[in-house]
């Protein structure tokens, strides 16, 4: 356990840090500072214990400051701080690629590394465009995402993404992007545990986009198997299979953005496995290192990778990469993280906990302003009715109350509370989350 009572240094000037995705002025009036972490908890600089109900940003799946992961990072820093992976490489990048490829279903056999989910989404979109180029289909340039989708904050990701605030300030974005409709219909799906029965037909909207643009212009469809950041929208039963079939019919690549769902969040290494659908590419980040060192990547099917492996041997096959692709610290952290997932059977644990987790969350139905609750794997979301004329305020007040009064970290998307704890959560701690969230919801009634 960390020395929870010792005081860490508290910065006395919060002005210089322009915080991402944060209402800076509200935060700086009443900061929520974190100084240390261990297992299921954070600790404030004053030593107050905060239950982590969000695995930070859906990434610390193995819990915090796990000894073997910490040691692997420390040892790696002492042995090899950095080496390039352009034209040179270090052994752990290969070892990790093989481990990830072995976890991925089907012939998703090749791994391209980057440093974040945003880079992973942009990398996958670029590989899709380049694949069609090198296979003689250069007219396939359109990229299709989905309303309410989140694929990070790069220009590629926000172009195919479907969250209006992430798009509307940033110009015209990539040309040629289009969107499938969201799969959410509250009237028919509210308070469903897991995947809703209603909504597979939303995949058929891809047929309409093909009719509008012609398949010869469409490169790829990218979707999150479970739309996370927008507020946990599990896919309707059969939806992803149908999307796969339509993509196959028209030669369109299918990309699953598994930045949240990858590495166990839905009880399987990848959501692709849960849903029995093999996409052409899977993006990942977050859980691959349990959030300890930034890392992302794209897992690519064999035929896509192989299509690039032509021309003279000395020629670069794909003009893409990041200085820190496959950074040694990230690789060491990821290898140690995958060991923890395997040795502690954490993906299986998620599958075991899912029914209890869902039942516990659904017990909040009936509290004031709760208009929907959704859950799948070890994720959940609670939609609160907005205060008229002040969208997001009720959610923000709940976040403040929960941190300062209840000692719990939640995640918000507008007035939706998102809950995605580390996989090491105990059943008692599930109860604790529900109690604390319930009191926070009542406090903002
Ligand atoms: C599905 C998905 N894709 C991409 C991203 C972006 O990841 P990052 O913030 O690491 O760039 C996220 C982040 O939450 C995500 O949920």
Is 287 touching ligand 1 by the criterion CB < 6 Å?
A: no
Same domain as 193, residue 293: yes
* Number of separate domains in the chain: 2
Whether this model's pTM surpasses 0.85: yes
Give residue 284's domain range.
70-343
Question: 248 with 397, same domain?
Answer: no
Shared-domain flag, residues 84 and 32 = no
Residue 334 belongs to what H/E stretch? helix 328-343
Residues with Cβ within 8 Å of residue 397, at least 6 apart in sequence: 443, 444
Q: Is the pLDDT of residue 287 over 60?
A: yes
CB-based contact 231:412 (threshold 8 Å): no
Q: Are residues 394 and 330 in the same domain?
A: no
258 lines ligand 1 (CB under 6 A): no
Whether 194 and 103 map to the same domain: the answer is yes
Q: Which atom of ligand 1 is nearest to the CA of 258?
A: 1
Nearest Cα to Cα of residue 286 among 77, 114, 97? 114
- Is residue 227 in contact with ligand 1, taking CB distance under 6 Å? no
Burial code (b: 16+ CB inside 10 Å, e: under 16) for 196-232 equals: beebbebbebbeebbeeeebeebbbbbbbbbbbbbbb
Distance CA 332, CA 288 (A): 11
Decide whether any atom of ligand 1 lies within 6 Å of the 284 Cβ: no
What confidence category does residue 15 fall into, taking pLDDT thresholds of 50, 70 and 90? very high
Ligand 1 atom closest to the Cα of residue 294 is: 10
| Shared-domain flag, residues 375 and 265 | no
- CA of 331 from ligand 1 middle (Å) equals 19
Q: What is the pLDDT of residue 13?
A: 87
**Above 60 in pLDDT, residue 71?**
yes
| Distance, CA of 214 to chain centre | 31
Residue with tokens 């002492």: 78
Burial class of residue 39, CB neighbours in 10 A (0-12, 13-18, 19+): middle
- In the reported structure, the alpha carbon of residue 304 is separated from the centroid of ligand 1 by a whole-number distance in angstroms of 23
CATH of the domain at 307: 3.40.640.10
Q: Is residue 19 part of a domain?
A: no
Q: How far is CA 77 from CA 73, 82, 96, in A?
A: 6, 8, 17
Is any ligand 1 atom within 6 A of the Cβ of residue 53?
Answer: no
Please provide residue 43's backbone torsions phi and psi, each rounded to the nearest 5 degrees. -135, 135
Q: What is the pLDDT of residues 94-153, one digit of tens each?
A: 999 999 999 999 999 999 999 999 999 999 999 999 999 999 999 999 999 999 999 999
**Residues 233, 261: one domain?**
yes
Given the CA of residue 285, which atom of ligand 1 is nearest to it?
10
pLDDT band for position 5 (cuts 50, 70, 90): very low
Q: How far away, in angstroms, is 283 Cα from ligand 1 center?
A: 9
Asked if pLDDT for residue 3 goes beyond 60, the answer is no
Is the Cβ atom of 151 under 6 angstroms away from ligand 1? yes
Q: List the structure tokens of 393.
A: 């305020």
pLDDT digits (tens, 9 = 90+) for 340-393: 999 999 999 999 999 999 999 999 999 999 999 999 999 999 999 999 999 999
Could you tell me if the CB of 166 is within 6 A of ligand 1? Answer: no
In whole angstroms, what is the distance from residue 231 CA to residue 374 CA?
9
Residue 156 lies in a domain: yes
Residue 317 is encoded by which pair of tokens?
């096959």
CA–centroid distance, residue 286 to ligand 1 (Å): 8
Res. 4: pLDDT tops 50? no
H/E stretch holding 68 reads helix 67-79
d(CA 93, CA 100): 11
Residue nearest to atom 14 of ligand 1 (CA): 229
Ligand 1 pocket member 290 (CB < 6 A): no
């Amino acid at each position: 356990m960390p020395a929870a009572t010792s005081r860490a240094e508290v910065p006395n000037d919060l002005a210089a840090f322009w915080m991402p995705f944060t209402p800076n002025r509200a935060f700086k009036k009443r900061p929520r500072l974190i100084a240390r972490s261990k297992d299921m908890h954070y600790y404030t600089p004053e030593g107050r214990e905060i239950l982590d109900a969000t695995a930070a940003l859906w990434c610390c799946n193995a819990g915090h400051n796990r000894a073997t992961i910490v040691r692997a990072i420390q040892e790696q820093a002492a042995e090899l701080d950095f080496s390039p992976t352009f034209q040179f490489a270090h052994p752990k990048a290969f070892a990790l690629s093989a481990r990830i490829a072995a976890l991925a279903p089907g012939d998703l056999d090749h791994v391209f590394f980057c440093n974040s989910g945003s880079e992973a989404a942009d990398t996958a979109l670029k590989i899709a465009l380049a694949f069609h180029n090198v296979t003689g289909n250069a007219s396939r340039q359109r990229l299709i995402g989905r309303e309410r989708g989140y694929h990070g904050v790069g220009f590629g990701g926000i172009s195919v993404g479907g969250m209006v605030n992430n798009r509307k300030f940033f110009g015209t974005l990539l040309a040629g992007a289009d969107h499938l409709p969201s799969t959410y219909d509250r009237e028919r799906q509210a308070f469903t545990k897991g995947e809703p029965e209603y909504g597979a037909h939303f995949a058929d909207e891809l047929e309409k986009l093909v009719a509008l643009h012609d398949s010869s212009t469409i490169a790829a469809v990218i979707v999150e198997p479970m739309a996370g950041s927008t507020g946990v929208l599990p896919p309707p039963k059969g939806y992803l299979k149908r999307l796969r079939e339509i993509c196959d019919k028209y030669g369109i690549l299918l990309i699953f953005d598994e930045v949240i769902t990858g590495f166990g969040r839905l009880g399987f290494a990848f959501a692709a496995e849960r849903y029995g659908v093999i996409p052409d590419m899977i993006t990942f980040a977050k859980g691959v290192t349990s959030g300890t060192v930034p890392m992302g990547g794209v897992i690519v099917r064999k035929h896509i990778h192989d299509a690039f492996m032509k021309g003279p041997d000395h020629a670069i096959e794909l003009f893409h990469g990041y200085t820190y692709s496959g950074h040694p610290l990230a690789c060491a952290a990821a290898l140690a993280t995958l060991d923890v997932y395997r040795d502690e059977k954490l993906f299986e644990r998620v599958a075991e906990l899912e029914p209890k987790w869902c039942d516990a969350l659904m017990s909040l139905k009936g509290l004031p302003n709760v208009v929907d609750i959704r859950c799948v794997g070890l994720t959940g979301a609670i939609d609160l009715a907005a205060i008229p004329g002040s969208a997001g305020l009720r959610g923000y007040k709940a976040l403040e109350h929960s941190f300062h009064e209840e000692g719990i970290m939640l995640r918000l998307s507008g007035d939706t509370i998102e809950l995605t704890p580390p996989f090491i959560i105990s059943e008692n701690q599930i109860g604790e989350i529900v109690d604390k969230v319930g009191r926070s919801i009542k406090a903002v009634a």
